[in-house]
Amino acid sequence: NAGVTQTPKFRVLKTGQSMTLLCAQDMNHEYMYWYRQDPGMGLRLIHYSVGEGTTAKGEVPDGYNVSRLKKQNFLLGLESAAPSQTSVYFCASNHFGRNTEAFFGQGTRLTVV
């Protein structure tokens, strides 16, 4: 009963370094999302995917790229990390439909120094 799993849970990067955050879900959900959570700003959508091989921009996509090569996985990449990308990142997934809840991962705390 894993649900949504994010790796890693913590990471410290130097400015300019790159990294990939992995999200995996085992509920056969069509939709997957990446959010960032910052104090006083709630959750802001970075990118999302409506199915394997598709991605779309959310509210704050700049500086991030994503890929969904398999239905169960959604990757978030930072090509050149900046201190402004210091945040807690959450992955979520759900089935299509207005009544369906989103299931969240435990989060990745990223610090860029």
Partner 1 sequence: GNSVTQMEGPVTLSEEAFLTINCTYTATGYPSLFWYVQYPGEGLQLLLKATKADDKGSNKGFEATYRKETTSFHLEKGSVQVSDSAVYFCALISPGTGNQFYFGTGTSLTVIP
User: How far apart (Å, rounded) are the C-alpha atoms in residues 30 and 107?
Assistant: 20
As a whole number of angstroms, the distance between CA 102 and CA 104 comes to 6
Q: How far is the CB of 57 from partner 1 (least distance, A)?
A: 11
The DSSP output letter for 97 is: S
Least separation in angstroms between CB 81 and partner 1: 22
> Contacting partner 1 (CB under 8 A), which of 27, 56, 82, 113?
56
Pick 17 or 102: Cβ nearer partner 1? 102
Q: Does 40 bind partner 1 (CB under 8 A)?
A: yes
Residue position matching structure tokens 């300019």: 16
Q: Give the rounded distance of the alpha carbon of 13 from its chain centre.
A: 17
Binding mask 66-105 for partner 1 (x = CB under 8 A): ------------------------x-x-x-xxxxxxx-xx
DSSP string for residues in 23-66: EEESS--SEEEEEEEETTTEEEEEEEESSTT--EE-SS-TT-EE
64 makes contact with partner 1 (CB under 8 A): no
Tell me which residues touch partner 1 (CB under 8 A): 4, 31, 33, 40-43, 45, 48, 50, 56, 58, 90, 92, 94, 96-102, 104-107
